[in-house]
Amino acid sequence: MRRIRCLCKLLFLALVSPVATPSAHADKEIVVGVYDFPPVAQITENRKVEGLVGDLLEELETLHPDIDFRIFHTSPKRRYLDFDAHLYDVIFFESPSWEWQDKQALISPPLLMDEDLYIALNKPGRDASFFDDLEQRNIVALSGYHYGFAGLETNPQEMERRFSIEFSDSHQRNLNLIKADRPSVAQVAIINESYLQMHLDQHPEDRDLFLISEQPDQTYQLSIITHPEGPVTARDMMNLLTPLIETGRYQSLVRKWGLGLPPSLLPALPDN
């Protein structure tokens, strides 16, 4: 009888005790804010994160199994309010000049580069001077994005007061509007260079359709932003990334998505 009682006690403890496996839970959780910013971050229909950020988070979770990176979906317009409310701890690849310097955000050194270009339909007689006076053009742009021609203004009412501009949430829609040749709606779109190249690689038949500006709207270096009350600092995030940078894996992922590296992460040139 005593043996039966002991066996029953052991069975009870086995049922109520948590299973101790290395992957049962992580020691630390980091909430990552993500919005659609292809190819830096691409949000699929089932809300999965792809693009550079998706690849990078997979690499970091493999490299640091003690950390759980949880996704918080935000938007270009809402990301600052969500940051102020501390709904996420980290956001990847933002320019400090995109309003982050006005906050107590912690900012990493530059890790990525890209630029925005003006796109129009390539018609006879048009050249780069078509982009000289944007105040005379009908523009399509992404809502919540910062643009050099507007002085990084994001208030849609202010931008609509100064320009003939229409907003959307899709680069592809904006390119399609240009291709449709509807000048009363869209004569110029502003597209980041990495997305444009990705589109042209997938649709080489479009290469001769577009007139592309020789001068960018803006060139930006992008950093990791962390919340001052979060579980990690910008320096901590750099430490997590360092093994990927040292092996060249990070640089390989950046090139995979057609993005650029800041000078600090480019390989050193020979002296001769």
Looking at the structure, do residues 207 and 121 belong to the same domain, yes or no? yes
Q: What is the pLDDT of residues 108-157, one digit of tens each?
A: 999 999 999 999 999 999 999 999 989 999 999 999 999 999 999 999 99
Q: Is residue 93 part of a domain?
A: yes
Q: Is residue 1 part of a domain?
A: no
Q: Is residue 14 part of a domain?
A: no
Q: Is residue 236 part of a domain?
A: yes
Is pLDDT above 60 for 236?
A: yes
Q: Is residue 187 part of a domain?
A: yes
Is pLDDT above 60 for 183?
A: yes
User: Is the CB of residue 157 less than 8 Å from the CB of residue 150?
Assistant: no
Q: What is the pLDDT of residues 45-54, one digit of tens each?
A: 899 999 999 9
Looking at the structure, do residues 120 and 109 belong to the same domain, yes or no? no
Give me the helix-helix angle, 193-202 and 171-179, nearest 10°: 60
Tell me the pLDDT band of 24, cut-offs 50, 70 and 90: very low
Q: Is residue 127 part of a domain?
A: yes
State which of 219, 234, 255 marks the end of a domain: 219
pLDDT of amino acid 229: 96
Looking at the structure, do residues 131 and 214 belong to the same domain, yes or no? yes
**Max avg pLDDT among 23-27, 124-128, 233-237:** 233-237
pLDDT of amino acid 254: 96
Domain count, the chain: 2
Is pLDDT above 50 for 272?
A: no
Mean pLDDT, rounded, for 60-68: 96
Q: Is residue 247 part of a domain?
A: yes
Looking at the structure, do residues 48 and 59 belong to the same domain, yes or no? yes
Looking at the structure, do residues 213 and 122 belong to the same domain, yes or no? yes
Comparison of pLDDT for 5 and 127, the residue scoring more: 127
Mean pLDDT, rounded, for 5-29: 45
Q: Is residue 40 part of a domain?
A: yes
Is pLDDT above 60 for 31?
A: yes
Where residue 91 sits, what CATH number does that domain have? 3.40.190.10
Domain residues for the domain of 209 are: 115-219
List all residues 6 or more positions away from 7 whose beta carbon is below 8 Å from its beta carbon. none
Is pLDDT above 50 for 97?
A: yes
Looking at the structure, do residues 211 and 129 belong to the same domain, yes or no? yes
Is pLDDT above 70 for 203?
A: yes
